[in-house]
């Protein structure tokens, strides 16, 4: 049996405008805290159109892209950097499937998500994406 190493990682999490508007910041942050990961940064703010375009560049030209940019810039968000062993994987499991209808109960999207277009939370999908997204939203 191969022993799995717990690799220290950073990840980027964003509580999206729909969740902020619904008053879900505290329960969502609590779930991330409960994982044992360290919240290194947490900031309430807005996403600029430039940040949105850079973050979602791979979707440019797709039919949903204009709506995605409009949505993510439509109101306040909470931006976070979390760190710890396997942080990306831990957060992805906690968030649940992208479509809230497919997300398991007990996950953030499964419990709080309503529709795929406003699915409560964004999280980096790889350590490389995390570094890129942290740079986009925090500039470090």
| Domain presence at residue 100 | yes
pLDDT of the chain along its 140 residues, tens only? 555 677 899 999 999 999 999 999 999 999 999 999 999 999 999 999 999 999 999 999 999 999 999 999 999 999 999 999 999 999 999 999 999 999 999 999 999 999 988 899 999 999 999 999 999 999 96
| Domain presence at residue 59 | yes
State the Cα–Cα distance between residues 126 and 21, nearest whole angstrom: 28
Residue 112's domain is classified under what CATH number?
3.30.70.141
State the Cα–Cα distance between residues 8 and 89, nearest whole angstrom: 11
- Structurally, the chain folds into a number of domains equal to 1
DSSP, collapsed to helix, strand or coil, labels residue 102 as: coil
**Residues classed as catalytic:** 122
| Domain presence at residue 2 | no
| Domain presence at residue 76 | yes
């Amino acid at each position: 049996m191969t022993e799995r190493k717990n690799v220290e990682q950073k990840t980027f999490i964003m509580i999206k405008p729909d969740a902020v508007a619904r008053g879900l910041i505290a329960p969502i942050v609590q779930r991330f805290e409960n994982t044992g990961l360290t919240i290194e940064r947490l900031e309430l703010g807005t996403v600029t159109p430039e940040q949105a375009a850079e973050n979602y560049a791979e979707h440019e030209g797709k039919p949903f892209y204009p709506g995605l940019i409009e949505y993510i810039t439509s109101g306040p968000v909470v931006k976070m950097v979390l760190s710890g062993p396997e942080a990306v994987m831990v957060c992805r499991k906690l968030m649940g499937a992208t479509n809230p209808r497919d997300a398991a109960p007990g996950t953030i999207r499964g419990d709080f998500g309503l529709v795929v277009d406003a699915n409560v939370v964004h999280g980096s999908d790889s350590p490389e994406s995390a570094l890129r997204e942290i740079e986009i939203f925090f500039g470090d």
